[in-house]
């Protein structure tokens, strides 16, 4: 077999492949056997019909066509290995010659998008600035309020619904008169905005037993993104009463005996969180610098496929303004994915089993699933390698972050190693920061068949880049998260 590659653009190539008839022959024999088992010829047992008779019955062209269809993926894979390209997206195949009477070879061409060649900038001495650690009284009070809310009690009230109330509701949604979903007795905190768009406004002012109608795009399911006519009914209204802040509360809600000790601990917690935010901010700025300094071509057809899939799921294919937003997010996510994959290659990142298990457990917790069930699901879907890619991208970004010089805007050096949770965990601050959700964008893989756009649309830089671009799957869901990942 011979193959040659022609570069059509930095992200697209054309393969020309020639396969001698003798290399195709095993596939022809298999096609004859397959067709022979499906036809019946008087005088012959099933599967025992001679080749010449099969050719007379179905024609040699039909046999060769089936053989070629079965053989193309194998020969395409060999051509990819020979030429060293990294294909992504769906290949476009054109068979130009088949081994019939007037030909002795199979010839075909394939146009396919590829991972671009990327030249990384010098990243051994990057410098970034982050916000200083400044814990205000408001930060401590906010943490104290969160703690009080955990120990609060709900008390029924006889008045109209206000923001912050807890209500029990019945909810119904329909599209064009067809009921899509209906639930009863759902608990909801008014003002949290974590259910349907417009529901908070509809609930405010209602009393027990009253209903209101509103229109909202559905948040999930097969018809996610489509406008639905919704109806909500209030069954009960409750307010949360918070416990008094005194020594009794400190003893009930913590390991401390006094409020003063509790406040001091909350002050330390707030400071640790601020320091961790510094690490996340440093990671984001390092990634931003690398993207600014690196020329990363993006395959238009991959982006278009991802964007179309994303908009189709939302039912917004005709929304040009939203399309432009998703297109931009997807391109940024795919660029991030390509960049982090290249960094992982240059840094020779390896992913150990303990690291993969730790990542799987974190993901399972994020989705509220049992770790074993989540691992089985990932294995069944063939996504284990994608997970490995996610971890590799995080480690690559952490390696770059570890080399960077980080200072705050007041000129103080920031030691990311201080982010280490405890001495038993060797992971340093750079790893910790790079592994946070934003670095997760770097995590999702852009694959054909999944989208990179959902990843690009989200807020987590690492997840954007996160979905991997692989042959036969789409890149949009990954591009939708925020920071990137790619696999071919």
Query: DSSP characters for 260-300?
Result: HHHHHHHHHHHHHHHHHHHHHHHHHHHHHHHHHHS-----H
Lowest mean pLDDT: which of 141-145, 215-219, 248-252? 215-219
> What pLDDT shows up at residue 238?
96
Position 472 pLDDT exceeds 50? no
> What pLDDT shows up at residue 45?
67
Question: Which CATH code fits 2-113?
Answer: 3.30.70.1050
CA 87, chain centre distance (Å): 20
pTM of the shown model: 0.72
Grouping H, G, I as helix, E, B as strand and the rest as coil, residue 172 is strand
The b-or-e profile of 156-178 (16+ CB within 10 A means b, else e) is eeeeebeeebbbbbebbbeeeee
The pLDDT mean for the chain works out to 84
Residue 309 and residue 224: Cα distance in Å, rounded? Answer: 13
In the block, tokens 């790893």 appear at 431
Beta bridge pairs of residue 234: 169
Q: Rounded to the nearest 10 degrees, what angle do helices 384-403 and 320-346 cross at?
A: 70
For the four alpha carbons of 381, 353, 438 and 126, in that order, the dihedral sign comes to negative
- 153-241 CATH pick, 3.40.50.2000, 3.40.640.10, 3.10.50.40, 3.30.2020.30: 3.10.50.40
**Mean pLDDT value of segment 209-230:** 88
Position 470 pLDDT exceeds 70? no
**Mean pLDDT value of segment 286-292:** 96
Position 483 pLDDT exceeds 50? no
Residue 93 and residue 66: Cα distance in Å, rounded? Answer: 15
Return the structure tokens found at 162.
């206000």
Residue 324 and residue 466: Cα distance in Å, rounded? Answer: 20
Residue 446 and residue 251: Cα distance in Å, rounded? Answer: 50
Grouping H, G, I as helix, E, B as strand and the rest as coil, residue 142 is helix
By CB atoms closer than 10 A (0-12, 13-18, 19+), residue 18 is middle
**Residue 373 main-chain phi, psi, to 5 deg:** -65, -40
> What pLDDT shows up at residue 51?
77
C-alpha distance from residue 235 to each of 159, 184, 208 (Å): 12, 9, 5
> What pLDDT shows up at residue 173?
94
The domain spans of the chain are 2-113, 153-241, 259-295+349-408
**Most confident stretch, 47-51, 99-103, 168-172, 484-488:** 168-172
> What pLDDT shows up at residue 403?
93
pLDDT class of 485 with cuts at 50, 70, 90: very low
> What pLDDT shows up at residue 37?
79
Position 335 pLDDT exceeds 50? yes
> What pLDDT shows up at residue 223?
80
> What pLDDT shows up at residue 102?
62
**Mean pLDDT value of segment 317-331:** 93
Position 338 pLDDT exceeds 80? yes
Position 242 pLDDT exceeds 80? yes
Residue 287 and residue 270: Cα distance in Å, rounded? Answer: 26
Summarised one tens digit per residue, pLDDT across range 15-66 is 999 999 899 999 988 988 888 777 777 777 666 777 778 777 788 888 888 9
Summarised one tens digit per residue, pLDDT across range 153-200 is 999 999 999 999 999 999 999 999 899 889 999 999 999 988 899 999
> What pLDDT shows up at residue 430?
62
Provide the percentage of residues in the chain whose pLDDT is more than 90.
67
pLDDT class of 420 with cuts at 50, 70, 90: low
The b-or-e profile of 103-130 (16+ CB within 10 A means b, else e) is eebbbbbbebbbbbebeeeebeebebbb
**Most confident stretch, 30-39, 390-399, 465-474, 475-484:** 390-399
Residue 94 and residue 16: Cα distance in Å, rounded? Answer: 10
pLDDT class of 358 with cuts at 50, 70, 90: very high
Beta bridge pairs of residue 212: 232
* Of 479 and 90, the one with more pLDDT: 90
> What pLDDT shows up at residue 337?
94
In the block, tokens 């179905």 appear at 58
The b-or-e profile of 390-424 (16+ CB within 10 A means b, else e) is bbbbbbbbbbbbbebebebeeeeebebeebbeeee
The b-or-e profile of 247-285 (16+ CB within 10 A means b, else e) is eebbeebeebeebeebbebbeeebeeebbbebbbbbbbb
Position 432 pLDDT exceeds 50? yes
Summarised one tens digit per residue, pLDDT across range 435-444 is 654 333 333 3
């Amino acid at each position: 077999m011979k193959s040659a590659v022609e570069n059509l653009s930095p992200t697209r190539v054309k393969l020309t492949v020639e396969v001698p008839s003798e290399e195709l022959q095993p596939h022809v024999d298999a096609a004859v056997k397959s067709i022979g088992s499906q036809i019946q010829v008087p005088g012959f047992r099933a599967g025992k019909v001679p080749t010449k008779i099969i050719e007379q019955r179905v024609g040699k062209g039909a046999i060769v066509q089936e053989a070629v269809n079965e053989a193309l993926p194998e020969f395409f894979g060999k051509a990819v290995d020979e030429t060293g390209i990294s294909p992504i997206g769906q290949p476009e195949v054109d068979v130009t010659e088949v081994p019939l009477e007037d030909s002795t070879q199979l010839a075909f061409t394939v146009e396919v998008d590829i991972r671009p060649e990327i030249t990384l900038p010098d990243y051994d001495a990057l410098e970034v600035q982050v916000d200083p650690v400044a814990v205000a009284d408001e930060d401590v009070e906010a943490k104290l309020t969160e703690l009080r809310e955990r120990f609060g009690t709900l008390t029924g009230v006889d008045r109209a619904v206000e923001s912050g109330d807890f209500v029990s509701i019945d909810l119904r949604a329909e599209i064009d008169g067809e009921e899509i979903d209906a639930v009863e007795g759902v608990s909801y905190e008014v003002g949290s905005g974590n259910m349907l768009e417009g529901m908070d406004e509809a609930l405010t002012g209602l009393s027990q037993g009253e209903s209101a109608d509103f229109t909202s795009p559905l948040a999930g399911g097969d018809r996610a993104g489509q406008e639905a006519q919704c109806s909500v009914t209030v069954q009960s209204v409750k307010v949360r009463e918070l416990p008094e802040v005194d020594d009794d509360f400190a003893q009930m809600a913590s390991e401390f005996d006094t409020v003063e000790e509790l406040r001091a601990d909350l002050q330390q917690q707030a400071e640790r969180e601020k320091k961790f935010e510094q690490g996340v901010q440093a990671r984001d700025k390092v990634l931003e610098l690398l993207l600014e300094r690196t020329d990363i071509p993006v395959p238009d057809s991959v982006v278009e496929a991802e964007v179309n899939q994303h908009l189709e799921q939302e039912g917004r294919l005709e929304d040009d303004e939203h399309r432009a937003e998703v297109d931009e997010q997807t391109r940024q996510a795919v660029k991030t994915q390509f960049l982090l994959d290249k960094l992982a290659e240059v840094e020779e990142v390896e992913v150990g089993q303990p690291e993969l298990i730790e990542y799987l457990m974190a993901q399972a917790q994020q989705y509220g699933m049992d770790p074993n069930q989540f691992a089985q699901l990932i294995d069944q879907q063939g996504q284990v390698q994608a997970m490995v890619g996610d971890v590799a991208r995080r480690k690559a970004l952490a390696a770059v972050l570890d080399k960077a010089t980080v200072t705050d805007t007041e000129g103080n050096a920031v030691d990311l190693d201080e982010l280490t949770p405890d001495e038993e965990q060797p992971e340093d601050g750079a790893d910790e920061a790079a592994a946070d959700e934003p670095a997760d964008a770097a995590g999702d893989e852009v694959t054909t068949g999944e989208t990179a756009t959902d990843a690009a649309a989200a807020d987590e830089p690492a997840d954007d880049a996160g979905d991997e671009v692989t042959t036969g799957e789409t890149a949009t869901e990954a591009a939708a998260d925020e920071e990137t990942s790619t696999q071919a």
